[in-house]
Amino acid sequence: MKLQTRYQILILAAIVLCVYYPALSAGTCSVDDPRIIAAYDAGAGKTLIGLFRPNGTYYYRPLVELSYYLDNLLWSMHPRFMHLENVLFHALNTMLLFLIGRQLAAAWSIKAPWFPLAGALLFAVHPINTEPVTWIAGRTDPLAAVFVFAALWCLLQCLSRDRLLFLCPALLLFVMGVLTKEIAVCFLPAALLLTACWPSPVRSRRTVLLVLAGVAACSVLLLLILAALSPTLSVSNLLSNQVGGPLAALQTVLSALGFYLKKLVLPLPLNFAIDAVSALYLVPAILLLLLLPFWLKKRSMAAVLVAAGVVFLLPALVVSLGHVAWTPFAERYLYLPSAFLCLGVASQASVMLERANWQQFLLPAAVAIAVVAGSLTMQRTFVWQNNLALFGDTVRKSPGFAAAHLELGVALLLKGELQQGRSEIETAERLNDRPSIRSLIKQNLMAVRLQGGDGQGAREYFFRNFASKEQAGPEFLQMLTKADEGLARQAANAAVRDGMYRDIIATYRLLYLKTRDPFNLYQSGKMAQTLGDRDAAMSYFRQAVREAPADTHYRAAAVKMLQRLEDGQ
């Protein structure tokens, strides 16, 4: 039985939608998603031109930023629609991979009719792809893959039809992929490898190789120039952040390679926070590096695809050297490599079954594997339904990872579980060795004391961490004012109470100096009014009225307060 191409494509799309349907109600992950939504909502001041202007941040990914900009424009950053986009990107990538498989099958004369469908099916339901598809912030990988796969399809058209015309859109799509995520630059070495190993005689092959090599050389030169000029370039930061000497770096990279190879074949256990890998993964990495060159000599499709997958793994290996991401190892980095591996496995299985004259068993075997993999993927999407489930699972699998304990603690606090939440955040404080989250942990520990009504405990915690108010950031000072206001209201002695109000005024004045937010002037005026200091209150209210934006709620309140004080009320 032969199923028409369009029906195979529709089946693949339907499978992706069915497996990832639970992701539509996953809400927002507390890691990065709230930051993205806040950065692109209507009040953030993002402009279309500004998206494409380098702003000195760590990454330059204007097309991803454009997608979030459109999310706000079209559906106000609603998580359900943003999840749907990720799922649709994955469905589109699955269909593109199917079309790529058809072109490769024709070039390598793979006679098994179900090879493209089998390879795309395995990619569609591979559990390793759950994270980039289900996580809003993980969109970078599926979106970059759209351009990489489209560029690859154009390149294959160029080679199979022997027409250089298709090389131009391939390079344009490659550039768009790089503007989405840096991993797309790996398209160039993968394309060079595929062109060099192309099995059919192509008159334009030398031209294609020269053009791709020229673009690759220009890309490397541009990267070196940017690394020399820009202190925020990702690659230069990664290399400068590595821990240990060259041998330690080599061990880390090879262990990461072996670990990722294992995850591509045996993805379980799935984990959002992989903070360390065993040195035993050096063994599969070294074996692959020793055997792959001999396998490539045969120029088989499977060898070329596996080698291309390894090429797309290289950025993930570099990331493992530094502490620049949520974790040094991540499942989302395997999105593009998994596509090449799935096609490679399907092609090798096709050749082996063809030799045994068992081609008819390819699709049933792929379907059986897909049923198991799809059920695991769907189960994982349910884990991503809420932060409590996700970070509970993460802490169980990575008990020594401080950031996971912090996120679980925050999720518990939001559920009203104060004691458990505080315990998790205190565990995070004890385990943490990352300066980037140290302040956030302390903020949450001070906040949990306030939430539990322990104003005195919050105040004591503040001064255990800061020798003076001037050393604290605005977030800590704001919590200190809340703690002190509660303590002042509870003070039985009038002199003590008045002293605390004066101290609160001093804190608000410091907050104003740090933030230049006139709201702190308005708050100072209220405290001075409570103290009965009419002149000071009027001074603060006048300054608040002068500096506050006209549409702020507290400006109108400050005007009324000022009028009452001027009228002697």
Radius of gyration of the chain from Cα atoms?
29
Q: Which of 333, 341, 384, 343 is nearest to 141 (CA)?
A: 333
199 or 226, higher pLDDT = 199
Amino acid 524 reads: S
- Per-residue confidence (pLDDT) for residue 230, from 0 to 100: 59
- DSSP for 261-315? HHHHHS-PSP-S-B----GGGHHHHHHHHHHHHHHHHTT-HHHHHHHHHHHHHHH
In tens, the pLDDT along 520-563 reads 999 999 999 988 888 999 999 999 999 998 888 889 998 998 88
The two three-digit tokens of residue 124, written as one number: 């569609």
- Per-residue confidence (pLDDT) for residue 362, from 0 to 100: 81
DSSP 261: H
- Please give the backbone phi and psi of residue 448, each rounded to the nearest 5 degrees, phi first: -70, -30
| DSSP-assigned beta bridge partners for residue 274 | 329
Q: Which of 450, 386, 466 is nearest to 418 (CA)?
A: 450
- Per-residue confidence (pLDDT) for residue 324, from 0 to 100: 65
Rounded Cα–Cα distance for residues 93 and 90 (Å): 5
Q: Is the pLDDT of residue 236 over 60?
A: no
In tens, the pLDDT along 261-306 reads 999 999 999 999 998 899 999 999 999 999 999 999 988 999 999 9
The two three-digit tokens of residue 32, written as one number: 């990065």
DSSP 26: -
Question: Range with the lowest mean pLDDT among 49-58, 143-152, 336-345?
Answer: 49-58
Cis ω before 246 (30° cut-off from 0):
no
Could you tell me the maximum CA-CA distance found in the chain, to the nearest angstrom? 101
Rounded Cα–Cα distance for residues 76 and 262 (Å): 40
Highest mean pLDDT among 115-119, 363-367, 564-568: 115-119
- Per-residue confidence (pLDDT) for residue 491, from 0 to 100: 85
Q: Is the pLDDT of residue 445 over 60?
A: yes
Q: Is the pLDDT of residue 232 over 60?
A: no
SS (H, E, C) 332-392: HHHHHHHHHHHHHHHHHHHHHHHHCCCHHHHHHHHHHHHHHHHHHHHHHHHHCCCHHHHHH
Confidence of residue 113 (pLDDT cuts 50, 70, 90): confident
The two three-digit tokens of residue 281, written as one number: 């993964």
Confidence of residue 242 (pLDDT cuts 50, 70, 90): low
Say what percent of the chain tops pLDDT 90. Answer: 71
- pLDDT (mean) for 481-507: 91
Rounded Cα–Cα distance for residues 302 and 340 (Å): 9
Long-range contacts (CB closer than 8 Å, 24 or more residues apart) made by 231-239: 232/56, 232/57, 232/58, 234/58, 234/59, 234/182, 234/324, 235/182, 235/318, 237/58, 237/322, 237/324, 238/318, 238/319, 238/321, 238/322, 238/324, 239/318, 239/321, 239/322
Question: Cα angle at 402 between 398 and 404, to 5 degrees?
Answer: 60
Rounded Cα–Cα distance for residues 385 and 411 (Å): 13
The two three-digit tokens of residue 149, written as one number: 């796969």
- Per-residue confidence (pLDDT) for residue 30, from 0 to 100: 93
Rounded Cα–Cα distance for residues 512 and 524 (Å): 10
Q: Which of 390, 271, 334, 378 is nearest to 28 (CA)?
A: 390
Rounded Cα–Cα distance for residues 118 and 112 (Å): 10
Mean confidence (pLDDT) of the chain: 90
- pLDDT (mean) for 478-488: 94
Rounded Cα–Cα distance for residues 4 and 1 (Å): 10
| DSSP-assigned beta bridge partners for residue 39 | none
The two three-digit tokens of residue 433, written as one number: 């060795």
Neighbours of 458 (CB within 10 A): 25
Return the residue matching tokens 């509870």. Answer: 490
- Per-residue confidence (pLDDT) for residue 494, from 0 to 100: 86
- pLDDT (mean) for 477-483: 95
The two three-digit tokens of residue 100, written as one number: 């790529």
In tens, the pLDDT along 387-430 reads 999 999 999 999 999 999 999 999 999 998 999 999 999 999 99
Question: Range with the lowest mean pLDDT among 12-16, 225-229, 291-295, 443-447?
Answer: 225-229
The two three-digit tokens of residue 563, written as one number: 């009028």
Question: Cα angle at 470 between 467 and 474, to 5 degrees?
Answer: 115
Confidence of residue 57 (pLDDT cuts 50, 70, 90): low
Confidence of residue 201 (pLDDT cuts 50, 70, 90): confident
Confidence of residue 358 (pLDDT cuts 50, 70, 90): confident
SS (H, E, C) 162-189: CCHHHHHHHHHHHHHHHCCCHHHHHHHH
CA distances from 469 to 175, 455, 465, 478, 531 (A): 49, 17, 10, 11, 22
Neighbours of 372 (CB within 10 A): 11
Question: Range with the lowest mean pLDDT among 141-150, 256-265, 326-335?
Answer: 326-335
Q: Is the pLDDT of residue 194 over 70?
A: yes
Confidence of residue 235 (pLDDT cuts 50, 70, 90): low
Rounded Cα–Cα distance for residues 167 and 173 (Å): 10
The two three-digit tokens of residue 258, written as one number: 């072996």
- Per-residue confidence (pLDDT) for residue 166, from 0 to 100: 94
Q: Is the pLDDT of residue 234 over 60?
A: no
- Per-residue confidence (pLDDT) for residue 3, from 0 to 100: 78
- Per-residue confidence (pLDDT) for residue 12, from 0 to 100: 96
Confidence of residue 323 (pLDDT cuts 50, 70, 90): low
pTM, full prediction: 0.90
- DSSP for 43-70? GG---HHHHTS--S-S---HHHHHHHHH
